Amino acid sequence: MAEEVKLFGGMWASLYSRRIEIALKMTGVQFEFIEEDLQNKSPLLLQYNSIHKKVPVLLHNGMPIAESLIILEYINETWPDNPILPRDPYDRAMARFWARFIDEKLIWVSWDAYRSKEEDQGKAIEEACKQLKALENELKEKEFFGGDTVGYLDIAAIMVASWFGVMQEVMKVELLTEENFPNLCQWVEKFVDCPIVKECLPHKEKMVEFIRVLLKDFLASR
Amino acid sequence: MASSSVADQEGQVMLLGFWFSPFVKRVEWALKFKGIEYDYVEEDLTNKSTLLLTSNPIHMRVPVLIHNGNPIAESLVIIEYIDETWKQNPILPQDPYERAMARFWANFIEQKVTESTREALVSQGEQQEKIVKELKEAIEVVEGEAKAKLNDKTLFFGGGNGVGYVDIVLGWTCNWMETIEEVGGFKVLDPESQPQFHKWMANFREVTFVKPTLAPKEKLVEYFRMVRPARLGLVANK
């Protein structure tokens, strides 16, 4: 039976959807990308992800899977020739731990730091830097979180590679500096330079403009 | 006995826990389900041990599983690790799609039921009302799943194999939810509108490795009554 793989994703600036594009391209799986207008979601999307009504959703032979980290695990298990998760259970546990850390803690704490009012900013930045330090220590001197090649945690950390740099420019708040986080900054450079990642990741300038427009009311009120 | 590498399965297994924590209980249920021997270390959460703080420097909380000296934190991550390291009595399904579904529901429970219950406990007035409403809706979704998946022959979300990942993740509700309702001063459990969920809770309570681990309600209520004012105070000062 011919395999049918479809990815319902957000427009180019939607980073969670980019995670799945990168993973699918790394595995070499042929897929159709269906762009969703998040202001006007299609009936299909609402059917396939009736609980959260969000992208990305992977459709494999008619079966839908939602939640980007869960989709990454599914891809890893379904097309095992190019695994994105480590083989060793302990290394896998670490990769999962840090991916959750990024999604559940780091992003939110950093968002707080970027948008805090001046009087609260010092404390918020301190907290965000503490968390970035933890991630920096996890990476150590490795080229990628996955070792020699891009893996699950690198893909999960797309937020660090893209969103931080953009927010820094838009909000004029420095968090991820080369001085404080040399390993992470070097990782960002290497990650965005990978051919597959380059194909999928939006250009920084384009993102900066887009986010500036998105946040214009918030920025004006500051 | 399991044929996969015995060397992986040997070695010391230690669990850092706290008697009251539902997250620790989940890990214990997973270990007991697989028949894994482990050393249990009860932490004093007002005076955390060096071992805990060095094993889980990011979150500084229990549960932490230490296997052959290697620490793993976060209950869902620990359970997957247990399942992949000890192959007997699988907790997650074998099929990749079924696994994805199990993980999806575990995440839903964590975000919409567990997290919301925690928030409801430490909030008051209008804020609490809002969260309780969302929590009720989430439980309705769980009820829907229970209605669709469970029957007289299939008592648990693990399906034909009995207890599974989703059951272990949701399991805390069978004992802690009532207590939190009482202490937090709100109501979400309703046997009339949630019959399948209540049936599932009753069945889960009776599971052989679960039953002896459930603390009596009075003890839980006493602990929560002590903790809630402090947590409310912390939240108010934020």
Q: What is the maximum span of chain B, computed from C-alpha positions, in angstroms?
A: 56
For chain A, what percent of residues have pLDDT higher than 70?
99
Q: Is A146 helix (H, G, I), strand (E, B) or coil?
A: coil
Strand pairing category for A63-66 and A57-60: antiparallel
Closest in B58, B77, B107 to A96, CB measured: B77
- Kindly indicate whether the ipTM for this predicted assembly is greater than 0.85, answering yes or no: yes
Quick one: CA dihedral B31, B96, A98, A102, positive or negative? negative
Please name the residue of chain B whose CA is at the shortest distance from the CA of residue A120: B238
Residue B238's pLDDT is what? 46
- The stretches in chain B having pLDDT less than 70 are 1-10, 234-238
Q: What is the mean pLDDT of residues A53-63?
A: 95
Q: What is the mean pLDDT of residues A136-156?
A: 94
For chain A, what percent of residues have pLDDT higher than 90?
82
d(CA A78, CA A9) in angstroms, rounded, equals 20
Residue B230's pLDDT is what? 77
Q: H helices within B10-124, ranges in order? A: 22-33, 50-55, 75-85, 96-108, 115-121
User: For residue B107, how far is the Cα from the chain centroid?
Assistant: 12
Residue B209's pLDDT is what? 96
Residue B237's pLDDT is what? 52
Residue A11 pLDDT > 90, yes or no? no
pTM: 0.94
Per the listing, tokens 């207590």 go with B179
d(CA A217, CA A215) in angstroms, rounded, equals 6
Residue A119's pLDDT is what? 83
* Chain A residues near residue B74 by CB distance under 8 angstroms: 97, 100
Judged by a CB distance cut-off of 8 A, whether residue B99 touches chain A is: yes
DSSP A11-37: -TT-HHHHHHHHHHHHHT---EEEE--
Q: Do B78 and A93 touch (CB under 8 A)?
A: yes
Judged by a CB distance cut-off of 8 A, whether residue A90 touches chain B is: yes
Residue B2's pLDDT is what? 42
Average pLDDT, chain A: 93
Closest in A73, A93, A134 to B81, CB measured: A93
- Listed in sequence order, the residues at least 6 apart from A57 whose beta carbon sits closer than 8 Å to its beta carbon are A7, A8, A45, A48, A49, A64, A65, A66, A71
Does residue B182 contact residue B226 with C-beta atoms inside 8 Å? no
Q: Residue A14's closest CA among A71, A54, A47, A45? A: A54
* Chain A residues near residue B67 by CB distance under 8 angstroms: 90
Strand order across the B64-67 sheet: B39-42, B13-17, B64-67, B70-73
For residue A58, give the DSSP letter: E
Residue A116's pLDDT is what? 87
Q: Is B134 helix (H, G, I), strand (E, B) or coil?
A: helix
Does residue B60 contact residue B75 with C-beta atoms inside 8 Å? no
Residue B5's pLDDT is what? 45
Mutate to test the interface with A, among B13, B99, B110, B112 (most CBs of A within 10 A): B99
* Chain B residues near residue A60 by CB distance under 8 angstroms: 97
Please name the residue of chain A whose CA is at the shortest distance from the CA of residue B71: A90
Q: Render pLDDT for B81-136 as a digit per residue (tens, 0 to 9).
A: 999 999 999 999 999 999 999 999 999 999 999 999 999 999 999 999 999 999 99
Q: Render pLDDT for A1-10 as a digit per residue (tens, 0 to 9).
A: 568 999 999 9
